[in-house]
């Protein structure tokens, strides 16, 4: 389930690898710590590689680059989520109908 977080991060980073952890956090709607946590997981899986950016050898700033297996993983997650989301979409339609009935029955 936290795969959704990972997929979203991958999407953002693929499009803009020079993103800051704070930017990423904001885009994901979570705290900086959470973004870092997520990023660390992606790096440990070998899906994202840290490259130094800004010519100093320090780790002041990174590029977060998707590795080949990161791209593959992203593709896999994408199809998996597409499937899930379609189901969820259907479920949601049913639930909305139900809620509307119930709201009406309670005179709202």
Partner DNA sequence: ACCCTTGCGTTCAATGGCTGAACGCGTATG
Partner DNA sequence: CATACGCGTTCAGCCATTGAACGCAAGGGT
Residues that bind a copy of itself (CB under 8 A): 11, 71, 74-75, 78-79, 81-82, 85-86, 88-89, 92-93, 95-96, 99-100, 102-103, 106, 108
**Which position has the token pair 């005179």?**
107
22 forms part of the interface with DNA (CB under 7 A) = yes
Interface with DNA, residue 37, by CB under 7 A: yes
The binder of 67, among DNA, a copy of itself, none, by C-beta within 5 to 8 A per type, is none
Q: Among candidates 20, 51, 45, which has minimal Cα distance to 35?
A: 20
Q: Which of the choices DNA, a copy of itself, none does residue 59 contact, using the CB cut-off of 5 to 8 A by kind?
A: DNA
Please, which residues bridge with residue 49 across strands? 65
22 half-sphere exposure, CB direction, 13 A CA radius: 1
Tell which residue, 44, 39, 34, has the closest CA to residue 13. 39
Q: What are 66's two structure tokens?
A: 């998707």
| Minimum CB–partner distance for residue 60 and a copy of itself (Å) | 25
Residue 10 or residue 38: which is nearer to DNA going by CB? Answer: 38
Q: Is 66 in the site for DNA (CB under 7 A)?
A: no
Confirm or reject binding of residue 31 to DNA (CB under 7 A): yes
Q: Cα(21)–Cα(7) distance, rounded to whole angstroms?
A: 16
């Amino acid at each position: 389930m936290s795969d959704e977080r990972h997929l979203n991060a991958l999407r953002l980073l693929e499009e803009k690898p020079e993103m800051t952890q704070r930017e990423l956090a904001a885009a994901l709607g979570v705290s900086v710590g959470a973004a870092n946590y997520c990023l660390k997981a992606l790096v440990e899986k070998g899906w994202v590689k840290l490259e130094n950016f800004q010519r100093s050898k320090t780790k002041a700033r990174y590029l977060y680059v998707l590795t080949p297996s990161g791209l593959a993983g992203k593709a896999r997650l994408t199809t998996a989520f597409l499937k899930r989301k379609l189901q969820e979409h259907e479920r949601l339609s049913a639930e909305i109908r139900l809620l509307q009935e119930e709201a009406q029955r309670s005179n709202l």
